Structure 1
Amino acid sequence: MDVVRQLLLVLHIIGIGSLLGGFLTQMKGMKTGDVRINPAMTHGALTMLVTGIALVGVRQADDLDVDNTKISVKLAILIGILLMVWTNRAKERVDVQIFGAVGLLTVANIVIAVMWT
């Protein structure tokens, strides 16, 4: 089961990299308002959701502790990100505030994952 957990963790990190990378590559466009939700961001957020749920399931199946409060906060943030990404994915230009919120919430999710013990 440890191999499955590690593979899921790698995929989860790839998902967050895709979401954050899609944001970072367009940060320069925030000055002009020329930003959009690219497919990397959409797929990254969905990958994070699926692998995150699977990671919790694998930990519980192995009778390992799961911090339900931390997972709930991270899930709530990710659902907010997913709603913003999914509803704006087809638009040519996205409101800079929405785009900035996606980036800010993504970084917040990373900070919570690393620093919340």
Structure 2
Amino acid sequence: MDVVRQLLVVLHIVGIGALLGGFLTQMKGMKTGDVRITPAVTHGALTMFVTGLALVAVRKSSALDLPVDNAKIGTKMAVLVVILLLAWANRGKDKVDTRVFGAIGLLTIANIAIAVMWT
């Protein structure tokens, strides 16, 4: 079961890489207002969502019985749901409001900070 947890962590990191990378590649367009939601952003956020849920399930399983910080996981999940909603609602637009796009980036960084700093 520990191998499954480790694979889920790897996939979770791949998801955050796609989400953050999709944001960073579009940052140049924020000056001109020419930004859009790339598939990397939506797919990365969805990957994080699914693997995050699976990680909690694996940690709570009787085989590992590892503790779960419900407040931290709930906060991270809430932030990720907002990212998903913003990305999903704007994914088909040719141009996305820079405030919405900036919010996705800031929330992504916040989610990383929560994961690393919340002990």
Smaller-chain TM-score bracket: over 0.9
Taking the aligned partners of 1:27 and 1:90, their CA distance within structure 2 comes to 18
- Residue 70 (str. 1) matches residue 72 (str. 2): yes
For residues 96-117 of structure 1, the C-alpha deviation after alignment (integer angstroms, 9 at most, x for no partner) is 0000000000000000000100
Q: Which runs of 4+ in 1 moved over 2 A?
A: none
The 5 A counterparts of 1:97-112 are 97-112=99-114
Deviations 1:14-72 (A, max 9, x none): 00000000000111100000000000101000000000000000000121100000000
Give the structure-2-normalised TM-score.
Answer: 0.97
Shift of 1:94: 0.2
CA distance in 1, matches of 2:116, 2:72: 11
- Calculate the TM-score normalised by the size of structure 1: 0.99
Q: Mark the runs of 5 or more structure 2 residues left unpaired by the alignment.
A: none
